[in-house]
Amino acid sequence: MEKTLSIVKPDGVKKNLIGEVIKRFEQQGLRVAALKMIHLTEEGAKGFYIVHRQRPFYESLTRFMSEGPIVVMMVEGEKAISIVREIMGATNPKDAAPGTIRADFAADIEHNIVHGSDSQESAEFEISYFFSSLEIH
Ligand code: CMP
């Protein structure tokens, strides 16, 4: 059983896609084990995306991620990390396969609706960034 962290980003929440994202995960046999809606501060977003601190898009990404509420969830299932990434599609919607969330709904590489952990190591960091053990069911 694998665990991963997914986020419906501010653009996804604004576009009313919370249910759509969860539905796609559940339809592929994944289980939502923890979930909440929060509004990150810029500092909170910077901490979450700390691995990208040297990237040119860090400031803009963390501003975007703190501009409105997000829905964070821990999702689990067999191969959850790669299945969530398949359901999301490539980071840049221009490269995302048809039928993926980003191909269907994302505006551009930054405003790409959803996030999903890219490895077991980042999943562990990201899950513990948002959830205490008491919030995971
Ligand atoms: P995410 O999967 O959340 O991981 C890091 C995020 O940074 C990514 O989705 C995009 O929202 C954003 N991102 C990645 N590459 C770029 C880029 N070249 N320009 C702007 N934003 C980017």
Using one digit for the tens of pLDDT, what is the confidence trace for 99-113?
A: 999 999 999 999 999
Q: Full-prediction pTM beyond 0.95? A: yes
For ligand 1, atom 4: residue with the closest CA: 115
Ligand 1 atom at minimal distance to the Cα of residue 116: 2
- Contact between residue 61 and residue 10 where contact means Cβ atoms under 8 Å apart: no
Q: Which residues contact 107 (CB under 8 A, 6 or more apart)?
A: 11, 93
What amino acid occupies position 1?
Answer: M
Residues of the chain where predicted confidence (pLDDT) is lower than 70? none
Going from the Cα of 62 to the center of ligand 1, the distance in angstroms, rounded, reads: 10
Q: Judge if the beta carbon of residue 109 lies within 6 A of ligand 1.
A: yes
For ligand 1, atom 11: residue with the closest CA: 110
**Is 115 tagged catalytic?**
yes
∠ CA(5), CA(9), CA(11), 5° rounding?
Answer: 160
Mutation probe of ligand 1 site: the residue of 110, 119, 122 with most atoms within 8 A of C-beta: 110
